[in-house]
Chains A and B, each alone.
Chain A
Amino acid sequence: MQVDPVLARAFSERADGARDTSVPLVGLFGEGVPLPLIAAMGGQGIDVKAPPLTDPEDGPMVDQVTRATEDFMDSFATRFLHRFADGAFDRYAALIFARDDVAGLAAYQYALELRRQGLVPARGPQLHLWNLLHTGSAPAMRFNRTELDRLIAMLSAVLGARLDLDRLAAALAAEERRAVALAALPPGGETAFVARNAGRWMTPEDHVARLEPPAREGADRRIALVGTACDIPVLHRLCAEFGTIVADLQDYGRIVPQPRTGEPLDMLRRIAGDPLCLRAAPPARFTRALREGTGDADLVIATVNRNDDALGWELPGLRMQVESRGGRFIDLGFLPFRPDAAWIDGARARVAEALS
């Protein structure tokens, strides 16, 4: 089944495809930023973490960034920084970095430092750290409330707008319609992956208008994916040869909760309650969600980025749990940022062996 061409283009071009948008753009590095809030204040949230698909071939390489970034830095952060230094986001009103994204803080601090030292031009968007804690305690929620106020103040300053409750209600409704449409998509398959993620670079209205659920495939061999952020459907394509992906719990594979109401604490609770955020605290919450989310899979496939500090602690326990219920578990090891044919062939052989 072919993916809608508009969605395919949005997915491929990513932030570059939104260049001509007339609405002020607000770049988002990481999950957990309340999108309806940005929309209600007149901006459009655009993912800036995942680079355009052609980035490995034609993406900028800026010397100042090459000199400043360690080779073990998260690839999403490194590619973002090159693009940032090259001016890809100069016309954005702001760039928001989620502290609870595993690469968000480094991306923010390096961008800030490059600018402070004059290694990149001072022009360009406001850089904002969204410190929201994925923790449900009362002190954390009080802190999150101040973070929300800080976010609103920043958006108000850069977008020149006050938060309008009617516009917020409309934006929440639009986002909710998108959530319903996304929930109707199957969790696996390349087509659904592209269709789902294309919305990161589209308004909810445009996105929903293009979403048509592809037919759900039969679930003869039920496969679940766990891992760190993966913004390309490489494993979806591969797994289609063997069965059906019934859960993709990785960032860019899963649907991250967005607020449903404009009531600040409710808004924050929805986001902070996301148990599959890698920095959700305490981590036992993540462990439970990971196990529940893979609970009906015949095969669980794990991959991690080379700079993973968090997920790797979960995998031995998850393997034990999956195998104890009769499922199979394979750890494909480190997933290159853009895997080559040799890596894919190796992974294919491992999956085939596990299912033989």
Chain B
Amino acid sequence: MNCAAAASAYQKDWLRGLRGQISGGAPYAFVNADTPHELFHHMGVPMVTNQWWSAVISAKQLAPHYFDRMEALGFHGHLPRYSSLPLIAQMEGDFDRQPWGGLPPPAILCARASSDEHPRIFQRWADLTGAELHLLSAPAVAEPKPDWWVQAREDWETFYGSDRLDLMVAEMEELIEALERLTGRKFDRDGFAGYMARIDEQERMLDDIAQRMADAPRLPMRIAEQMPNVMIPQWHRGSDWALDHVRAFRDEVEERIGVDHAVCEGERTRMMWIGAGLWFDTSFYTAFEESHGAVFCWSMYLPFAADGYIRADHGDPLRALAARVSSMNEQLHQPPWVNEWLVKEALRWRIDVAVMLVPEHDRFSGYGSHFARAALEAAGVRVVQIRSDMVDPREWGREPVEAQVRAVLDGKEA
């Protein structure tokens, strides 16, 4: 079994185990991706991530049913979709329809107010399940310096701002108190430093893997394999399994590079996939290999594991965690951060063509797209913007989108 398959199998087993634990009365948390998962892990509270669960529902081709249902319930058709899919599934309450029998009610909920829908979606979860709700504030960085990936690793105090970090730490302390009440255990502050160090080790390995893959003459591993290899360990970051898996992932990549393995023998065009995964149609990522020797080398998940996560602890791991979380999602979507980062990455990975998912309904993810396009084009990268959604296939047209990409690839080869 290769690493990606092992990760997926682990996650499936983990969820099965989680269901067993919960049935036995163990509390679990339902949280957004850009929240401090580390606190839940360190307190031993199992956790399901909203966006991961949304991707699973979408991959099972269930999204159209739920989005039709969402509109039938009176929610308007332009509300964001990525983060709402699990809520609608939960509201419907037909757990047999859901993947793996659905989710039982969580004990605690956590979201950041980074985008306007998140507090409301989580408020609905709280109303529906009675779970305790923790909303973390998301004031913006008032003077965003473009090269966040440089500044945020070490000098995050200056970069993110002491007042914002004070706020995030204080709100995390409230969350810690809630987790202590929930578990009846004290938060082990000394142990937390060690735990954060393990996460740092994990993310640095991923940083190393990204650099090796970027440097490799030809792409050794498709992004559809990269994603589970990165993200499933991220959902379990700092655990023994996560570190072991990332080591195995590194070994597999190293081995492939060592034997000059290429996912596409005739690789001649390198592409980046910008945006969240196309969860309902991941085979799209290989659609241009045979015809154009065009491979998707890059998705955000692997490089972001380093740039978005590595934060020197400076003797205060909780504050370092606040630095990791306080602008996590914003760095991927807001100017000048997104445009500058994508150019840096495109150059590092020798990208020829960028295919950019512009999700009109998930506006938070869609903003900044035109700035990013212009910046990439100025750097010599051809850009294809496709209007679709990461989890909703109802308006996805595989053929016209393929034609859109092929036209650009043909143009490059002409």
Q: Give me the interface of A with B, judged by CB distance under 8 Å.
A: 67-70, 72-73, 99, 102, 105-106, 108-110, 112-113, 116, 128-129, 131, 133, 135, 137-140, 142-143, 146-147, 150, 278-279, 281-284, 287, 304, 306-310, 312-316, 319, 331, 333-334
Contacts and interface: CB of A to CB of B under 8 A. Distances in A.
Given A99-B139, A283-B123, A334-B76, A313 B374 contact: no
A142 B166 contact: yes
Given A72-B363, A109-B335, A309-B79, A282 B116 contact: no
A109 B174 CA distance: 30
B335 A110 contact: yes
Interface in B344-392: 358, 360, 363-364, 366-367, 369-371, 374
Interface of B: 73-76, 78-80, 113, 115-117, 119-121, 123-124, 126-127, 133, 135, 137, 139-140, 142, 144, 146, 163-164, 166-167, 170-171, 174, 334-336, 339, 358, 360, 363-364, 366-367, 369-371, 374
Contacts of B146: 116
B174 A313 contact: no
Nearest to A143: B167
B223 to A, nearest CB: 25
A142 B74 contact: no
B116 A309 contact: yes
18 contacts: A72-B363, A112-B336, A139-B170, A143-B164, A279-B116, A281-B137, A282-B123, A282-B133, A287-B123, A308-B76, A309-B79, A309-B116, A309-B364, A312-B76, A313-B75, A313-B79, A313-B117, A314-B120
A248 to B, nearest CB: 20
B335 A143 contact: no
B370 A67 contact: yes
Contacts of B74: 315-316, 319, 331
Contacts of B336: 112-113, 116
Query: Which one of A135, A146, A284, A313 has the greatest number of beta carbons of chain B within 10 Å?
Result: A313
Nearest to A104: B140
Q: Which 7 A-B pairs have the closest CB atoms?
A: A139-B170, A316-B74, A309-B116, A131-B139, A313-B120, A113-B335, A310-B116
A70 B140 contact: no
Contacts, number: 131
Nearest to A329: B74
B303 to A, nearest CB: 22
A316 B74 CA distance: 5
Contact of B115 (A112, A142, A146, A309): A309
B386 to A, nearest CB: 13
Contacts of A72: 360, 363, 366
